[in-house]
Amino acid sequence: MIDVKSIREDFPILKARPYGKDLIYLDNAATTQKPLSVIKSIDDYYTGMNANVYRSAHYLSGVATNAYEKARNKVAEFINAGSEETIIFTRNTTESINLVAYAWAMENINKGDEIILTVAEHHSNMLPWQLIAEKKGAKLRYVYLNEDSRLDMDSYRNMLSSRVKLVALQQVSNVLGIINPVREMTEEAHKVGAKVLVDGAQSVPHMKVDVRDIGCDFFAFSGHKMLGPMGIGVLYIKKDLLDEVPAFMRGGEMIDEVYEDRATFADPPLKYEAGTPNVEGAIGLAAAIDYLDGIGMDNIHKAEVDLTEYALKKLKEIDFVKIYGPLDMKDRMGVISFNAADIHPHDVATILDQDGVAIRSGHHCAQPLMRYLKVTATCRASFYIYNTHEEVDEFVESLKGIRKWFK
């Protein structure tokens, strides 16, 4: 198991004391905290190599460009992309998915075509496809859940046909914590000629991900959910699709030649990265990957499974708590959504906050799933490498304490 006590020393924000209480940060599905090595990497960029990349022949630009491309290579290795040209830097998962929607789907999805989603998708992997369906006359179809809160795979297989042009789904649910069988689903989709986009925002930070093993055509994730800075995201495009996906935005750096009436574009990945990129974000993401690699993704996954299993056991002992999602750890990650009797989740979160416990409350950018679950919102506790069993105990005790607020 990982040395959590040692890891916590690397995160200065964990020493914060809200309302004079120890901070218990359980909102990691929203964003993770940053270790000193990531913070220092950004400081090093601004104090030692701040310059625009690719554009200039001077020393600082060369150093910055080299660091930026090293970051791209590190990301490619981290998800086993096979080639740096398949790695495009974006602002976040949302922008990555929108790039696919505007650049690929607008060109390849037509009237009568079908797009398969799951009811549990984050809005970021739903709204772009609603737009495509509206603009192109395509149809959205949804995979719903079994009684165990996992995807109904029989229903999914029955949906597949030659009309399906895209399957877009999350690898891990940000509400239910379920790990979807994306490899199997990709294989099935490819049999009917459909492309597959996987939202990896909640998987890449917590488990070993191999995009070539999954076989998906597109894969998106964000840096800030895996110890990196905000404002940096990644889109992987399978190498044999790069010629099919046109440039998303046009402007500086992504060009080859520009004339008064036309232009030609740079080779991937630069043709997708118009304008000045988030260089410090890429460098910070590379530092975050180094930190995660130092612990080992398999070790991280095992530790989170252990912590989540412990938390589920404790929460199941509270008679007024209802948990949404699987109650066992089969194909499950460190996200637990719950409600406390008929108390509004915002009230629960506010009371816990007074004890220094930070959780999320609301619809978690998954309103269709909330309606499917017949609730307006839930509370959500989500764990990461710096959380402890002792913090879970304090979270549970604080939750039990709401009895004195609501009789």
Residues designated catalytic: 365
Cα–Cα separations (whole angstroms), residue 153 to 157, 159, 184, 245: 6, 10, 10, 30
CB-based contact 72:87 (threshold 8 Å): yes
Spatial separation of the C-alpha atoms in residues 351 and 344, rounded to whole Å? 11
Spatial separation of the C-alpha atoms in residues 174 and 18, rounded to whole Å? 26
Which run of H or of E encompasses 289? helix 279-295
What radius of gyration, in Å, describes the C-alpha atoms of the chain? 22
Question: Helices in 27-58 by DSSP H: which ranges?
Answer: 36-48
Token code pair at residue 251: 């402007």
Closest C-alpha among 325, 346, 334, 339 to residue 375: 339
Question: Helices in 87-222 by DSSP H: which ranges?
Answer: 93-99, 106-108, 127-136, 153-159, 182-191, 211-214
Question: Helices in 101-167 by DSSP H: which ranges?
Answer: 106-108, 127-136, 153-159
CB-based contact 325:332 (threshold 8 Å): yes
Spatial separation of the C-alpha atoms in residues 357 and 391, rounded to whole Å? 9
3-state SS assignment for residue 332: strand
Spatial separation of the C-alpha atoms in residues 79 and 69, rounded to whole Å? 16
Spatial separation of the C-alpha atoms in residues 152 and 160, rounded to whole Å? 13
CB atoms within 10 A of CB 323: 18
> In 311-369, which ranges are E strands?
321-324, 335-340, 357-358, 360-362
